[in-house]
Chain A
Amino acid sequence: MSSITLEQVSKKYGKINVIQDLDLEFDDGKFTVLVGPSGCGKTTTLRMIAGLEVASGGKIKVGGKDVTHLEPKDRDIAMVFQNYALYGHLTVRRNIGFPLKARKISKSEIAIRVEFIAESLSLTSLLERTPGQLSGGQQQRVAIGRAIIRQPQAFLFDEPLSNLDAKLRLEMRTELLRLQRSLGVTSIFVTHDQEEAMTLSDKVVVMRDGKIAQQGSPTKVYTEPVDTFVAAFIGSPKMNLIAGSVSNGTFRSQIGTFMVDADGFPPGDVILGIRPEDVLLDAGTDGVVDLIELLGPRAIVRVVCGELAVTSVVERFSLANLKEGDHVSLKARSSSLHQFDPETLDRRKPS
């Protein structure tokens, strides 16, 4: 089990710089998630670690060993692909045993380990089937079995849950987390789904345009986003970002007036960030309820205030008789507000 280090790693396609001087550490035994919008470079980064893409510059180390110029087969890592990449002409048994066969492990050893892995993943009854005869979830478990049978130094996951339906995705997410915790293997997970990033990770790395926007624990990234990009990307529904101005501890904008914690913050123009769960609704005239989406225990309420729209997440029991078209006032929990510089879009810190 090993840590993985990227030192000034870059990737170019022709003249286009996809990844720029990336410095990143993946801690030993931890679950790190690379998250970001499409095209941010997260999959390219993962593929460079796997050796499926050649880095244009920098160094990649696995367990302290420089693997930058090694082929994938020599890096002692295992990968689970988005489309599972199972070998359609082989049975489940042979798919799972493939990495051991490739490394010329004995037949008897392969048989024992395949049976053990199949049992732990509830695949025993499916061993003689081919991938075409399996459901999506079963294929996913075979892909995972193929990855873990080798006991590699690290697991790489390239959006492995994105092809599953919503319910199965949640089940497999829990399954993956349980597996990683029990095996304690360094794991790198790529996803565009910030919810997956938050629930699975010991550390979240938010990427944008080939660079790291922010990295840290899920709590840190959620509660202290470094700029408006991270603030809006992490959290669902996304953070409300409202332009206005602050003076004497009061924020004024088109959507209304809030009290803010102004200690150490300069007065003047600001972008205020309010998580939807911190937007409180009451009867009033600030805005009109445009849409209510019921999610079971909660509801997402969209309130339109002139040209702006604000999202609030309300507990079901707090909904009362609220309906679309009602006029409401907006309040915010002052302790949970975020201030961003309107010029740089960076998080403002008290001076």
Chain B
Amino acid sequence: MKITQRLGRMASVALLVAAVLAVLGPFLWVILGSFKNERSINDPLAIFFTPTLDNWNAVINGGILQAAGRSLIVATISVSIALLVGGMGAYSIARYKAGGSTMRFGILSAQVLPPAVLVFPFLALAYTLRVNDTLVAVTAAHISLVLPVVTWFLIGFFEAVPKGIEEAAQVDGLGKFAAFRTVVLPQVAPGIGAAAVFGFTLSWNDLFYALILAPGNAQTLPVAIAGFNTFRGVQLGAMCAAILVSVVPVLIASYFIQRRLVRGISGGSLKY
């Protein structure tokens, strides 16, 4: 019995290690690849090599950081608008069944369509308004992408909040909006945090809309990373470094959103 338990435990640990390697392996490869020269990078299993900072120089001097800054602006604005509008929309759908079940599932109807179908109206509009190849066009497209998802995501969280606590807050002395802000929002704070992270990632990682709407001076980070695929071949080392620039802010943003935003909404509403 003891041996069987031991074997079982060893098998569990082995499976966990394999799973961790499968998830972290590519990430570790990217980290190592960002410090490899052209020769070393063609040997994917090389752990020992002479590190170089050439790739990082290419990233810093190649406009990657500026592209990251543009991605940050677009993602932040998109998520902020999506949370504000989508939060209120989700509340209306959850509490008042606004639009019925048609609305509830209809808000995701655009996600069913291939982006290639939706991008052309955006492109035409951008040219008409003379905002082509600007962050305005990309932000507008990303809002159309993030807002429905955030709204749909938050409906369930608002539905989980008992209507009774809003009513209790109203009887206790708050108006409807104050009751919403004081007792409902803190209850859905984890959901808002999760929706913010999800929406941020959606916008941050988008290549298609950004490539079509802002391929030039206003390119975002995914477009800039794709630019390492040149006619001379793929600059893998620099691309690895640029990918790390892409990944790390998302991790930081997730931490920030989860800790600060959620705590701020749930804990900051009543201090006495």
Contact = CB atoms under 8 A, between A and B. Distances in A.
B270 interface: yes
A72 B170 contact: yes
Given A89-B187, A89-B266, A146 B164 contact: no
A78 interface: yes
A83 B171 contact: no
B165 A86 contact: yes
Contacts of B272: 94, 97, 101, 107, 110
Contacts, number: 74
Contacts of A146: 168, 172
A81 B164 contact: yes
A72 B176 CA distance: 10
A81 B167 contact: yes
Given A85-B164, A89-B266, A90-B270, A52 B171 contact: yes
Interface in B2-42: none
A103 interface: yes
Given A83-B164, A97-B272, A102 B169 contact: yes
B233 interface: no
A78 B171 contact: yes
Contacts of A83: 162, 164
A73 B266 contact: no
B173 A103 contact: yes
Nearest to A100: B173
Nearest to B173: A102
Contacts of A35: none
Contacts of A50: 167, 171
Interface in A95-112: 97-99, 101-103, 107, 110
A305 interface: no
Interface residues of B, number: 22
B88 interface: no
A109 to B, nearest CB: 11
A79 B169 CA distance: 10
Which residue, B162, B169, B272, has most C-beta atoms of chain A within 10 A?
B272
Given A79-B168, A102-B169, A88 B187 contact: yes
Contacts of A71: 170, 175-176
Contacts of B178: 102
A77 interface: yes
A116 interface: no
A242 B178 CA distance: 57
A77 B270 contact: no
B222 interface: no
A21 to B, nearest CB: 26
Contacts of A89: 183, 186-187, 189, 266-267
A85 B176 CA distance: 16
Contact of A79 (B171, B186, B189, B270): B171
B174 interface: yes
Contact of A52 (B165, B167, B183): B167
Given A94-B270, A97-B272, A85 B167 contact: yes
Interface of A: 50-52, 71-73, 77-79, 81-90, 94, 97-99, 101-103, 107, 110, 146, 150
Interface of B: 162, 164-165, 167-176, 178, 183, 186-187, 189, 266-267, 270, 272
Given A73-B170, A94-B272, A101-B272, 13 more contacts: A50-B167, A71-B176, A72-B171, A73-B171, A79-B171, A85-B167, A86-B165, A87-B168, A94-B270, A98-B270, A146-B172, A150-B172, A150-B173
23 contacts: A50-B167, A52-B170, A71-B170, A71-B175, A72-B167, A73-B172, A73-B174, A78-B172, A79-B171, A82-B164, A85-B165, A86-B168, A88-B165, A89-B183, A89-B186, A89-B266, A89-B267, A90-B270, A101-B270, A102-B174, A103-B173, A146-B168, A150-B172
Give the 4 A-B residue pairs with the shortest CB-CB distance, closest first.
A102-B173, A85-B164, A85-B168, A99-B172
